[in-house]
Amino acid sequence: MPRTLEPGGLDQLPSPLPRRLATILRPELPSLAQEIIEEIPRALPEYDRPLQTPYSQALTIGVERALIQFVARVAEASPSTVRHDDTYRRLGRFEAHEGRSLDSLQAAYRIGAQVAWRRVMRLAARHDLSSTVTARLADALFAYMNELASLSLAGYMDARPAEIEDQRRRLLQLLLRRPTSASDRAIGELAELTDWEVPAEVTLVAVPPDARCVRGALDCDVLVDLTADEPHLLVPCGSSAGAPVPLSDERRAMLAEAFPDDPVAAGLTVPIEFAADSLRWARQALSLVETGILDDGPVISCEDHLVTLWLLSDCTLIDQVARRQLAGMNDLEHGQRERLVATLHTWLTTRGTAAEMAETLHVHPQTVRHRIKRLEKELGGRLTDPDDRFAIEIVLRAMWVRNRSRTEREEYRDEG
């Protein structure tokens, strides 16, 4: 693509052509251009558009400039071609932006050549041109059309990768709006247009803003949007016996290579209609990395931190639940409250004896017994009510996970 337009496949105009041909051809250009512009949309419905649209205007300009330039070449050996060349590269870029192959534009060039040749045959008879001159003019015309097709191909190939990337970005946006906003048909059409096979399962990956990406390291089936305020990408995954297959080691290595300077977070592997949920979890994991709650690393997987993500899904709400469930201790001095909370956490999570808890807390067993009595006094019946006790244990676990990372950061800072 493109094929030569017949005959000969010449790369440049044969020479010399009698310069008087330019005098014969030039008066025909306005009406010939109009004839070609009318014939193309009749033969090719995809070009049947209102004349004021940018595409129709570009096509009209292309036809007019092609004819003017061809006659200029007949009249002189080497006319300027800078503006001329850009016109036909732009037509190729238009085809890429329209999401079509170059077949339609190739056909338009053929139609233009056929209409022009019919006019040349009439002029040859009218001006009594020899068969030799007419044959050379035919070769010149088809060689010129081949040149225009080559220019359009260059523009098409320049624009096609960027256009495919843009269409895949729109496909990713559609998938993240499901299940309410995007139909299977719309997704299927855009996937086919971009040569992307729709998978059963996907993993969404959250990327820090401004992270450096080595695009060549990403597999060709990964959908990418690094232009968003919160950059992200989609990795197709498989399923086995109806169960999702988490991100493979090969995919993790790919992500680590693609983002060598910053950690990224991979959400859970889910059916494609739940892609937005996977991305939400990935972004939550990335935020916990940024605050130091999750360990730093090249690829953080939500699969490895499910309970933490659940417990810390709303840190503000944790404080509110703690305020209510531990209401009896809210007025205590800070240090005293922290000691009682630590004892309560150990008690609920280990169910150990006073001696065992004392060893964990690095205090005397009698101190543990004293604190438990204080807890029973401050919290009243909450420790005997199953629902309240469960709520207290959950909020203490969440506070412990959050505060552990904060303590570790402070200790690290003090050691430094």
11 within a domain of the structure (yes/no): no
Q: Which of 271, 305, 339 is the last residue of a domain?
A: 305
Q: Is the dihedral of CA 117, 119, 123, 126 positive or negative?
A: positive
User: What was the pLDDT predicted at 224?
Assistant: 94
Return the pLDDT at 243: 61
pLDDT at 1: 37
Same domain, yes or no, for 32 and 152?
Answer: yes
Tell me: do 301 and 321 sit in the same domain: no
Same domain, 118 and 35: yes
Q: How many domains does the chain have?
A: 3
10: its two tokens? 């010449």
339 and 403 share a domain? yes
pLDDT of residue 179: 59
Tell me: do 374 and 286 sit in the same domain. Answer: no
Domain residue limits at 41: 20-159
CATH of the domain at 64: 1.10.490
59 plus 128 within the same structural domain: yes
270, 321: one domain: no
Rounded distance between C-alpha atoms, residue 291 and residue 114, angstroms: 69
Q: Which of 257, 277, 305 is the last residue of a domain?
A: 305
Q: Are 148 and 55 in the same domain?
A: yes
Q: Is residue 153 part of a domain?
A: yes
In whole angstroms, give the CA distance from residue 213 to residue 206: 13
Query: For the chain, which ranges sit under pLDDT 50?
Result: 1-13, 408-416
Say if residues 141 and 70 touch (Cβ distance below 8 Å).
yes
Residue 321 lies in a domain: yes
pLDDT of residue 262: 92
- Token output for 66: 């092609």
Query: Taking a C-beta distance cutoff of 8 angstroms, is the pair 202, 237 a contact?
Result: yes
Q: Has residue 188 been placed in a domain? A: no
pLDDT of residue 327: 76
Tokens at residue 335, please? 């240090």
According to the model, what pLDDT value does residue 8 have?
40
Helix (H, G, I), strand (E, B) or coil at 221: coil
pLDDT at 241: 56
Round to whole Å and give the CA distance between 182 and 169.
Answer: 14
Does 354 share its domain with 332?
yes
| 40 and 151 part of one domain | yes
Look at residue 5 and tell me if it is in a domain. Answer: no
In a domain, 122, yes or no: yes
Give the end of a domain, one of 137, 159, 181: 159
pLDDT tens per residue across span 279-325 = 999 999 999 998 888 876 899 999 988 888 888 888 788 778 777 87
- Same domain for 289 and 357? no
User: Does residue 366 share a domain with residue 287?
Assistant: no
- Output 165-174 pairs: Cβ under 8 A, ≥24 positions apart: 165/224, 167/99, 167/193, 167/194, 168/194, 168/196, 168/223, 168/224, 169/223, 169/224, 169/225, 169/227, 171/196, 171/223, 172/223, 172/224, 172/225, 172/232, 172/233, 172/234, 173/225
Domain membership of residue 67 (yes or no) is yes
Question: Would you say residue 144 lies in a domain?
Answer: yes
